[in-house]
Structure 1
């Protein structure tokens, strides 16, 4: 009976889906309906679905998508709570689909959806990856000013050493990829920031068969741009992860960089307290230590641990826990340094050893105590 019922259902089953379009959203309520209308026109004749991955929009985007999805079976939504990031959103959406081809497009309609069929057909006909490019063929950056164009070119040049596949526009967020290629890259993806195409290409240690299709980058119609200083920081973090990340945790590198800045802050505050204010050395040193630790905490909270950023009263509690961690780190620094000095009688070796142990302790302990995941 079950086999007969299944066979009957199979006979009336709709044609299998050929393409999944993954669309990350964050406060894009003014764009999603118009985008879906444009996708419907562009993808006529292709069996497609759209998976929106929403990262905590507060403008009604998830509620609007819920209504749309209830009326249109081609539309689905993944609603993420407490997690953000375009790259990880794209991966999560792609893995929720079973179509042989995955496409990625922004919700702000700056990507020209009219070339989506060309991207799809390129992959369906044998290419592993097809990208919409602003820098090849008829591609154009639209109304970008010279400074933004230079920044984009510079970012592209920085990406070149980590890619096995040569692309004219590795910063593009508009592409189609074979599902099995994405699965091949998935275990090594960094899922950092906004540059998911670069992440995919850098995670596959072989050249991919690619196609490039030019388009003109458009202008946002509704909502606010997500570009800020964090985009640049996350790009650098992605590059670090693809180069030194296999040897040293990227957060440790960032933590160490903040610590080096903290040394400069410490010396500056010490000079001000000692020479400008005329305080005794002990008071000057104590003030400089507290000031430098506060600086390090604030900077790490804003950048290194932005995914666990503390706010309000949690910020105050985190600061005092960071004081505690760094105080114990100072004890470890002195203890290890003294031990090494007794053994080797080299002050600089002892100093470096103590500093390394103290820094690693501060990194590990603060990640566990101050910026623990809740």
Structure 2
């Protein structure tokens, strides 16, 4: 409806959302209807909306959420095509909100939705900018939601964030928080759209400017679906830590590519040693080791560094050969430099390392532009 001047009539204040709950999702079709019902009960009396940001889930999560949205105006859906990653989904969801407060929580039912009114009250009742549901303050616990190994890894990750980035949060790895939208909007240009630790990114990017309150909560056990976290996320996390530690001088993607490349160096040296022990001539052994390392690097980068552009099926096979092609210049430099250095068999490791480093610089730029180019 518009006024006589053609401008849209303002929505009555009572109908405007005070709180937007951002729900990044991937393969959460079973959980979304349950979570929406839980939010209705927990947020009764509060003007709220849920923004489901789905990374084109093959299980039809977006369609399930859209069916709910057709009958419930409190639910909105953003379906992302060709983009992957929890952090990017959270950023898009927060920027799509016009509510003064935005909350981020997982769609897998592991976060306690009854915390939301308490978090909102903290933001509205004082000068707090960010409220974090913390497992590590007094009264909080991981409950049954994390295995002992994951809990141990989370504690190590927390410690690294606190020491390297001077983050004072007790639980910087939490994925459950609420923030004033204008604060999130101001920080958005500094945030990485890759990775899984959006809270750590927000806090470190703010440089101590956010007034933070942590509230205890218990991390619940997942009821449906499978966890999206895998061992490769460790690379992603270290990439974010390093990017923030060096003041965002280089991108998280480049640092993750470098971490994968570092792992490839060990693969390269191991393969080189095996070939040399097998009696293969050094030049041939160095070339073969280079292709072994390139193969492992391709699959690691495809799973992690370029997870938002991940190649599958035939495209992955074509991408592998493209990766070989664009890295061929690097291989030539690798073998050439290594051969110049390799004079004494006792220094095989130094020759191999020097050659591998020479090929690394070319690989990132070429593979970004050609192998995993944006479609």
TM-score (norm 2): 0.84
2:273, 2:20 → 1: CA distance?
Answer: 61
Residue 364 of structure 1: how far off its partner (Å): 1.4
Q: What is the root-mean-square deviation in Å for CA atoms of aligned residues?
A: 3.3
1:250-261 aligned within 5 A: 250-261=252-263
> Cα 1:6–1:38, aligned 2, differ >3 Å: closer, same or farther?
farther
- Which SS does the other structure have where 2:173 is aligned? coil
1:1-374 aligned within 5 A: 3=3, 14-125=14-125, 126-143=127-144, 144-161=146-163, 163=165, 166-244=168-246, 246-276=248-278, 278-281=279-282, 283-332=284-333, 358-374=359-375
Residue 30 of structure 1: how far off its partner (Å): 1.7
1:165, 1:271 → 2: CA distance?
Answer: 42
Encode CA deviations 1:97-128: one digit per residue, 9 max, x unaligned: 11111111211211111121110111112310
Q: Indicate if the aligned counterparts of 1:191 and 1:199 stay in contact, CA closer than 8 A.
A: no
1:256, 1:209 → 2: CA distance?
Answer: 34
Residue 142 of structure 1: how far off its partner (Å): 0.8
Q: Indicate if the aligned counterparts of 2:233 and 2:304 stay in contact, CA closer than 8 A.
A: no
Q: Indicate if the aligned counterparts of 2:18 and 2:101 stay in contact, CA closer than 8 A.
A: yes
> Cα 1:136–1:364, aligned 2, differ >3 Å: closer, same or farther?
same
Which residues of structure 2 form unaligned runs of 5+?
Answer: 340-350
TM-score (norm 1): 0.84
> Cα 1:197–1:292, aligned 2, differ >3 Å: closer, same or farther?
closer
1:312, 1:130 → 2: CA distance?
Answer: 43
Higher alpha-carbon Rg: 1
2:7, 2:371 → 1: CA distance?
Answer: 58
Encode CA deviations 1:145-196: one digit per residue, 9 max, x unaligned: 4433222211111111355652221111111100111012111001222211
Q: Indicate if the aligned counterparts of 2:20 and 2:99 stay in contact, CA closer than 8 A.
A: yes
1:273, 1:354 → 2: CA distance?
Answer: 16
> Cα 1:267–1:108, aligned 2, differ >3 Å: closer, same or farther?
closer
1:320, 1:273 → 2: CA distance?
Answer: 23
> Cα 1:324–1:62, aligned 2, differ >3 Å: closer, same or farther?
closer
